């Protein structure tokens, strides 16, 4: 399979279309640097190669991933996702995050979590969580705290409305500058929103039907 040559830096591929087999980086040509690989990339010895078609993206200081629009979500560490509790165990909550397998959320993975203040989630509870570990062949591990140990925006989402869309649209809703759909609606109606990179969106304001209709129309154009 023919691959794209790399000059030691993946910068020239950023925001460009890449396909499986493309080699975006040769680690043997790099000085001491640390990079983080997101979805769509893998390391084979000294080569960082693409494993799914899409647009190569970069976020500072050092994370690269391949962005594509799809219905199926592949868990990746540090993704923020919307999960649905499907079962409660003594040590973990089992959570559906639209991935190949169910994820688990330790009962202590909350800000100030101890055995005395374990949260009570019933099956069907919608929660906003962070993916901590996502290794092939293993159930993803989740957390309700950020990298500093604070709850931040994570936790149970009450009331409101949840709907599903493509992963590509989810990333667009989280993009900077603000997505035109959110910017336009924000001028007319106050609302709260939580967007998961797994293609789930939660919104709470008075006219949910208007929002869902607008976003679904955008999703049909996006995909």
For the residues 82-86, what does the mean pLDDT come to?
A: 96
pLDDT at 222: 52
Q: Does domain 10-67 have CATH number 1.10.260.40?
A: no
- Domain 161-222 falls in which CATH fold? Ribosomal Protein S8; Chain: A, domain 1 (3.30.1370)
Residue 129 CA neighbour count, 13 Å, CB half:
32
User: Does the pLDDT value for residue 111 go beyond 50?
Assistant: yes
* Two tokens, residue 188: 């007319």
List pLDDT tens digits, range 5-15. 445 566 678 88
Q: Rounded to whole angstroms, what are the CA distances from 12 to 90, 130, 176?
A: 49, 30, 21
Q: Tell me, rounded to whole angstroms, the distance of Cα 186 from its chain centroid.
A: 23
User: Does the pLDDT value for residue 152 go beyond 80?
Assistant: yes
- For helices 208-222 and 180-188, what crossing angle results, to 10°? 160
For the residues 67-81, what does the mean pLDDT come to?
A: 83
Backbone angles phi, psi at 49, to 5 degrees: -120, 165
Domains 80-156 and 161-222 share a fold: no
Domain locations in the chain as residue ranges? 10-67, 80-156, 161-222
For the residues 14-26, what does the mean pLDDT come to?
A: 86
Q: Beta-carbon neighbour count of residue 3 at 10 Å?
A: 14
List pLDDT tens digits, range 158-195. 888 899 988 888 888 887 778 888 888 788 888 889 99
For the residues 14-34, what does the mean pLDDT come to?
A: 81
Place of tokens 């979590």: 113
* Two tokens, residue 131: 């993916």
pLDDT at 97: 95
Q: 8-32 burial by CB neighbour count: b if 16+ within 10 A, else e?
A: eebeebeeeebeeebbbbbeeeeee
> How high does pLDDT run on average in the chain?
82
Least confident of 114-118, 189-193, 209-213: 209-213
* Two tokens, residue 185: 């609606």
* More confident call, 12 vs 81: 81
In this prediction, residue 2 has a pLDDT band, given cuts at 50, 70 and 90, of very low
CATH of domain 80-156: 2.40.50.140
Triad 129, 155, 70: Cα angle to 5°:
35
pTM above 0.75, yes or no: no
User: Residue 140: exposed, middle, or buried by beta-carbon count in 10 A (0-12, 13-18, 19+)?
Assistant: buried
* More confident call, 200 vs 136: 200
pLDDT at 1: 41
User: Does the pLDDT value for residue 218 go beyond 60?
Assistant: no
User: Does the pLDDT value for residue 145 go beyond 70?
Assistant: yes
């Amino acid at each position: 399979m023919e691959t794209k040559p790399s000059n030691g830096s993946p910068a020239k591929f950023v925001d460009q279309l890449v396909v499986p087999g493309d080699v975006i980086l040769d680690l043997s040509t790099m000085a001491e640097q640390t990079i983080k690989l997101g979805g769509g990339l893998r390391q084979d010895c000294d080569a960082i190669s693409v494993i799914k078609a899409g647009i190569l993206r970069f976020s500072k200081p050092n994370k690269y991933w391949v962005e594509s629009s799809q219905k199926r979500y592949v868990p990746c560490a540090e993704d923020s996702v919307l999960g649905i509790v499907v079962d409660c165990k003594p040590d973990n909550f089992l959570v559906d995050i639209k991935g190949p397998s169910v994820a688990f959320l330790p009962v202590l993975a909350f800000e100030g979590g101890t055995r005395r203040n374990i949260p009570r989630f019933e099956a069907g509870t919608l929660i906003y969580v962070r993916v901590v570990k996502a290794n092939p062949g293993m159930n993803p591990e989740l957390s309700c705290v950020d990298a500093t140990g604070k709850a931040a925006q994570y936790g149970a989402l009450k009331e409101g409305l949840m709907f599903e869309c493509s992963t590509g649209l989810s990333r667009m809703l989280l993009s900077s500058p603000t997505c035109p759909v959110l910017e336009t609606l924000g001028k007319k109606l106050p609302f709260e929103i939580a967007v998961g990179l797994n293609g789930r969106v939660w919104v709470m304001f008075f006219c949910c039907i208007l929002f869902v209709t607008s976003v679904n129309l955008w999703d049909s154009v996006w995909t």
